[in-house]
A and B are shown apart, each in its own frame.
Chain A
Amino acid sequence: MLRIEYAYWLIAAFLLYTGGRNLREGHLWHAAFWLVLGLLFGAGDYILKQSAAGHALPSQLAGGGVIVLALLAPRLRRKPHPESSSADERLQSAIRLGHMLFVPALLIPLVTLLVALFGAWLVIDGHALFAAPQMTLTGLGLACVVALFAASRVARTPMHEGVAEGRRLLDAIGWTALLPLLLAALGQVFTQSGVGTAIAAIATALLPTGNATAALLAFALGMVLFTVIMGNAFAAFPVMMAGIGLPLLIRQHGADPAILGSMGMLCGYCGTLVTPMAADFNLVPAALLELRNPYGVIRAQAWSALWIFASTVLLMWLLVFR
């Protein structure tokens, strides 16, 4: 049975390989960084199981590993690896292989799609082929392996050279790859240490209560601002809802809960488009696309975010008090 953990172990192997190659080439800081991260990924399953069983030590060690990563990250220089092939070689190969090159690239979304749609029905010998949790992502992991296999067949290149190319790209992305995980952890710490409730207390103390339109505007802007700080609209929603949405807008001014909830959440999504705290959507793509400005993607979507926010607030104002 294929579980998401297998994909995590595959990532661990890839990270350890990246660390090992850097070690051999004498880039010691890079090597240490990827090796520690690889260990965290390899041990992740064990850490969570021990934690669920009440043993805190493995999680504490993992926390120590995260701090080590934070100390190592500033040592990493984003050194552009030299391209392993010349532009002319690539063009010749492109002309020779033609549309065949698209096949492995399209296999990644296609296999993921097939697993997402039909994975639940694949049963071999009474056992489900895919475990139900995170089935789409398990499919993505499988799709990557299938695509690598197909790519090596199409390009007539051994697979290990693909892994070496992947390592080149990973080194180019560098520590940015880590940010989404760290920010997710930060979100947990913020929640546990009461940052959310403190912000909500300040917000409700400052807010107008009498005027329905003003309260609605405060709710929408609060969703954006809180999402910008936390990097995630899901963290903002319960706080803003409990602070303004439920007591003021719904109970006092009679707002429609379905519209307020749905459109309020979407206001938060506009905040996600403009915050570096949502690193997986904003900073990682910038690194992946080799933009010199790490905030390039945010800049490209800022105006979209503003207009979408404005139209959502307008719609909400028109619909919610009817």
Chain B
Amino acid sequence: MNYWPLLGVAVIVIGFALRFNAVPVVVTAALVSGLLGGLSPPALLALLGKSFVSARMLLLFVLTLPAIGLLERAGLREHAQRWMARMQNLTLARLLIGYLLLRQLLATVGLTGVAGPAQTVRPLLAPMGEAAAEKILPSLDQADREELRAIAAATDNVGRFFGEDVFIALGAVLLIQGFYSQHGIELSPLAIALWAAPTAIAAFVIQSVRVWLYQRRLQRRAAALRTDEAG
């Protein structure tokens, strides 16, 4: 067994821990692991180039930027905030939990590309969340706003991850089925997907509770501010 390629993992861990620029860290790790793993330099270069261009779909989100940029210049975020401020019954927790449910249901039927950080979180969910939080605590500072945007992105991720596994035709289920059938265990995709449902429900409950707790924290801060002013 050749353990030397593990040095590539060490490069990653050290590079990320010391907060070096991640791009050269990742490329260095690839070169270290590849060379120590016995790949010849030309083969390694070809592997790197080929796998990089095969992953082009991961940059697809940049195509949303022109439309989003134009709309933001025309006041999309300001409008989303003003609209949220007028909606009395739509609290921060209801907004985020509603989005979580929608995202999870869409992922459950395999529609993961419909929403996402570029498609829905930056233009819509984040500014609406900020406005909803301002209804509770008008004096939000920059750190609060950033935390809120991070929670919006986290809610998007949790909804996507723990919805998609319930969908039978998506990568995860097929990968599991494929692995077992290689090793002589035949399972139907449905039997696998079904067992993702308990965790999907747990994830929904956990993320909802965390969003609700965050809202309560904001409410307490607002209440403390009010008593300070009254006193």
Contacts and interface: CB of A to CB of B under 8 A. Distances in A.
B137 interface: no
Nearest to A268: B172
A56 interface: yes
A10 interface: yes
Contact of B64 (A108, A152, A159, A237): A108
B89 to A, nearest CB: 18
A103 to B, nearest CB: 10
B60 interface: yes
A140 B187 contact: no
Contacts of A80: none
B30 A59 contact: no
B97 interface: no
Given A163-B66, A189-B33, A265-B176, A101 B22 contact: no
Contacts of A166: 62, 65-70
Contacts of A15: 62
A249 interface: no
A74 B25 CA distance: 10
A192 B59 CA distance: 24
Interface in B56-81: 56-80
B34 A192 contact: yes
Contact of B157 (A62, A64, A301, A303): A301
A184 B27 CA distance: 11
A197 B126 CA distance: 42
Interface string B141-179: 000001101111110111001100100000111011001
A252 B65 CA distance: 53
Contacts of A63: 44-50, 52
A213 interface: no
A77 to B, nearest CB: 11
Interface in A263-311: 263, 265-266, 269, 272-273, 276-277, 279-286, 288-293, 296-297, 299-301, 303-304, 307-308, 311
Contacts of B158: 273, 301, 304, 308
A315 interface: yes
Contacts of B203: 304, 308
Which size bracket describes the interface of B in this complex? 35 or more
A145 B60 CA distance: 12
Nearest to B207: A304
B55 A185 contact: yes
A176 B179 CA distance: 33
Given A134-B57, A189-B34, A241-B179, A14 B62 contact: yes
Interface string A95-106: 101110110110
Contact of B6 (A165, A177, A199, A257): A199
B150 to A, nearest CB: 4
Contacts of B82: 94-95
Nearest to A305: B158
B50 A59 contact: yes
B219 interface: no
A112 B52 contact: no
A116 B170 CA distance: 14
Q: Which of A198, A241, A291 has the most CB of B within 10 A?
A: A198
Contacts of A289: 117, 121-122, 126, 146, 149-150, 152-153
B210 interface: yes
Interface in B185-228: 185, 187, 191-196, 198-199, 202-203, 206-207, 210
The winner among B120, B153, B172 for most chain A CB atoms within 10 A is B153
B136 interface: no
A53 B151 CA distance: 46
A40 B210 CA distance: 42
Contacts of A56: 42-43, 46
Given A155-B71, A288-B117, A177 B53 contact: no
21 contacts: A59-B50, A74-B23, A93-B73, A105-B123, A134-B57, A137-B113, A151-B67, A166-B62, A182-B26, A184-B55, A189-B30, A190-B8, A193-B5, A193-B36, A195-B5, A195-B8, A281-B157, A286-B150, A289-B146, A297-B157, A301-B154
Given A179-B22, A238-B175, 10 more contacts: A41-B59, A56-B43, A69-B23, A94-B74, A237-B175, A262-B194, A273-B161, A293-B146, A307-B206, A315-B198
